[in-house]
Amino acid sequence: MRSAVRGRVVAGILFTLVLLSLVVLTACGSTTNIQGSLNRSTGGMVQVTIGDAPSDRIAAFSITINSISLATDAGNSVSLVSSPVTVEITQLSGTTQPVATLTIPAGTYTKASITLGTATVTLVDPATGEASQKTLPAPPTVTLTLNPAFALSVSPLVLNLDLNLASSITIDASGNIGFNPRFIETHGPLGGPGTTPTPLNGGLEHLFGNVSSVSGSSFTLAIGNQTLTFTTNGSTQFANLSGVGQITAGMLLIVSAQTQSDGSLLATRVAAINVIPTSIGALGLVRTVNRTTSQLQLFVRRAAGTALTPFVGAGLLVDFNSNTAFRFDSDGVDLSNLPFIPAFAADNIAPGQFVEVDTTSPPVGTTTVIGGLSGIEIAATQITLEQEPLIGIVSGYTGGATFTLNLPADSVFAIVTKATAVTVYKQPGTVNLTNISNGSTVIVRGLLFVDSGTYKMVAGRILATP
């Protein structure tokens, strides 16, 4: 690896196992429903979530998790994940997504085994800017010693298994990739009432998908090949909706939630992205913007709708016009009293920004080629700026509200933006999970604006690299 940052972290997969009470893992066709009934008497519940740390040359990374199991000090094995789940993880940097919940017996657990399937990686050539996709074969099962071991009784615990791709992936000068997964384990308590939700204590944020069903005050969201069921109550905030009664099947939503002590997911915020049941959408990193043709290209990291899901990790050509709505999603980001006016519109959307695009119409074009990748074309109804993670080295920090984040010259961000530095604004509402000092490597997750041609990130969260 050529950059100092890549030497520390290329990407990571964070499996957070929140140990609570019971949920049964079931499968429905190709969709995994990760929730079920609760039975406190049989042991402790495990909630498995996936997170990620950002990569340098990797624009997208999809991997299949075939199974995860734990073993006790007595040698008894407990299965946590048995139905394969495929997840694109690069958009989860600094956050998490649940993939399973189930009951396991109380006991002392000393080992974890993770079986992964094939992975698809999208790379960007630092010399040409062209992208390519490669399939990585399934690696051998990884057995990890939990040191110290954790003892599960009646108190909920959180077990984090971090797959650090800095030491797991190698890329040689010819672009050949080696994949040898290496994990780091930590564990701690589940966040209880009164604690601030974070991705490591059962807090979930900005989960994107189509509504598959609604029942009373609950609804189920399809995310890739899995489903999550959320409950709502009087404290749930709704955006572009008056309440759960307006949610219908097929609607595009972005949901934040908090895991409850009974294993259910209580939605804290539900935002309707597109209320038309036939709408389709995608989340991705902007590769190019052509204002002459009013088009932009995306590296797709997540998709909702059968027309777009085959293109996760590939390219998307997006048409926009004067009728396309531009907005930014400020949930979780404090935009108060900034020294610039945060704006996002057709005249300042730029490469390197992370956006959600959606449409109520079928794709307008056949398969095309986008930056070296196969792709598809849509006409956007709206384009929304969403939070994204950047990793870099801190400079210019004097203890105040701003610092410079320096990014590797051969990172995907630098390649598509031609910029290697971003000004970061640390707001009163920023969740700071690490000590910031000049020369330290940090992950900043927030909204990336372009102001007078300069990239400025308003931080929602700042955390250390694994």
> For the segment 353-381, what is each residue's pLDDT rounded down to a tens digit?
999 999 999 998 766 778 788 889 999 99
- pLDDT digits over 293-314, tens only? 999 999 999 999 988 988 998 9
Cα dihedral 408, 410, 412, 415 sign: positive
Residue 387 scores a pLDDT above 60? yes
- Residue that is last in its domain, among 359, 385, 411: 385
Answer yes or no: do 184 and 52 share one domain: yes
CB count in 10 Å sphere of residue 426? 20
3-state secondary structure of 219: strand
Answer yes or no: do 380 and 392 share one domain: no
Q: Is the peptide bond before 148 cis (omega within 30 degrees of 0)?
A: yes
Percent pLDDT > 70 in the chain is: 88
pLDDT reported for residue 176 = 82
Tell me the pLDDT band of 5, cut-offs 50, 70 and 90. very low
pTM score of the predicted model? 0.89
What is the mean pLDDT of the segment spanning 95-112? 82
CA 313 to chain centre: 14
Does residue 22 sit within a domain? yes
Tell me the pLDDT band of 396, cut-offs 50, 70 and 90. very high
3-state secondary structure of 253: strand
For the chain, the maximum distance between any two Cα atoms, rounded to a whole number of angstroms, is 67
Residue 228 scores a pLDDT above 70? yes
pLDDT reported for residue 162 = 73
pLDDT reported for residue 14 = 53
Give whole-number Cα distances, 443 to 158, 220, 465, in Å: 21, 31, 6
Q: State in Å, rounded, how far the first CA of the chain is from the last one.
A: 17
Does residue 137 sit within a domain? yes
Tell me the pLDDT band of 26, cut-offs 50, 70 and 90. very low
Answer yes or no: do 147 and 45 share one domain: yes
Q: Which domain holds residue 253?
A: 203-274
In terms of Cα–Cα distance, which of 241, 305, 232, 225 is closest to 264? 232
Does residue 459 sit within a domain? yes
The DSSP call for residue 242 is: S
pLDDT reported for residue 240 = 93
Tell me the pLDDT band of 402, cut-offs 50, 70 and 90. very high
Q: Where are the beta strands (DSSP E) in 191-279?
A: 203-215, 218-223, 226-231, 237-239, 252-259, 265-274
Computed over every residue of the chain, the mean pLDDT equals 85
Residue 331 scores a pLDDT above 60? yes
Distance, in Å, from the CA atom of 312 to the CA atom of 320, rounded to the nearest integer, reads 21
| Better-scored residue on pLDDT, 419 or 25 | 419
Judge contact between 244 and 232, C-beta under 8 A. Answer: yes
Tell me the pLDDT band of 329, cut-offs 50, 70 and 90. very high
Distance, in Å, from the CA atom of 254 to the CA atom of 332, rounded to the nearest integer, reads 13
Percent pLDDT > 90 in the chain is: 51
Tell me the pLDDT band of 42, cut-offs 50, 70 and 90. low
Let me know the angle formed at the C-alpha of 425 by 424 and 428, rounded to the nearest 5 degrees.
145
pLDDT reported for residue 32 = 58
Answer yes or no: do 235 and 215 share one domain: yes
| Better-scored residue on pLDDT, 82 or 151 | 82
Residue 6 scores a pLDDT above 50? no
Residue 259 scores a pLDDT above 80? yes
Let me know the angle formed at the C-alpha of 343 by 339 and 347, rounded to the nearest 5 degrees.
130
Answer yes or no: do 151 and 218 share one domain: no
Residue 77's Cβ-side half-sphere holds a number of Cα atoms within 13 Å equal to: 10
Answer yes or no: do 212 and 230 share one domain: yes
Tell me the pLDDT band of 40, cut-offs 50, 70 and 90. very low
Does residue 358 sit within a domain? yes
Give whole-number Cα distances, 180 to 58, 82, 122, 139, in Å: 16, 22, 17, 7
Question: How many structural domains compose the chain?
Answer: 4
Answer yes or no: do 333 and 426 share one domain: no
pLDDT reported for residue 54 = 54
User: For the CA atoms of 160, 184, 89, 97, what is the dihedral angle to 10 degrees?
Assistant: 0
Buried b (16+ CB within 10 A) or exposed e, 157-194: bbbbbbbbbbbbbebeeeeeeebebebebebeebbeee
pLDDT reported for residue 38 = 34
Answer yes or no: do 259 and 315 share one domain: no
Answer yes or no: do 335 and 306 share one domain: yes
Does residue 195 sit within a domain? no
pLDDT reported for residue 154 = 67
- pLDDT digits over 154-171, tens only? 677 777 777 777 677 788
pLDDT reported for residue 34 = 53
| Better-scored residue on pLDDT, 97 or 136 | 136
| Better-scored residue on pLDDT, 402 or 61 | 402
Tell me the pLDDT band of 31, cut-offs 50, 70 and 90. low
Q: How many residues does the chain have?
A: 466
What is the mean pLDDT of the segment spanning 424-440? 95
Amino acid occupying residue 374: S
Tell me the pLDDT band of 436, cut-offs 50, 70 and 90. very high
Answer yes or no: do 100 and 166 share one domain: yes
pLDDT reported for residue 427 = 97
Residue 435 scores a pLDDT above 50? yes
- pLDDT digits over 269-283, tens only? 999 999 998 899 999
- Residue that is last in its domain, among 229, 253, 274: 274
Residue 268 sits in a domain of what CATH number?
Answer: 2.40.50.140
Let me know the angle formed at the C-alpha of 96 by 1 and 403, rounded to the nearest 5 degrees.
60
Lowest mean pLDDT among 15-19, 100-104, 107-111, 281-285: 15-19
In terms of Cα–Cα distance, which of 410, 300, 417 is closest to 350? 417
- Residue that is last in its domain, among 385, 407, 422: 385
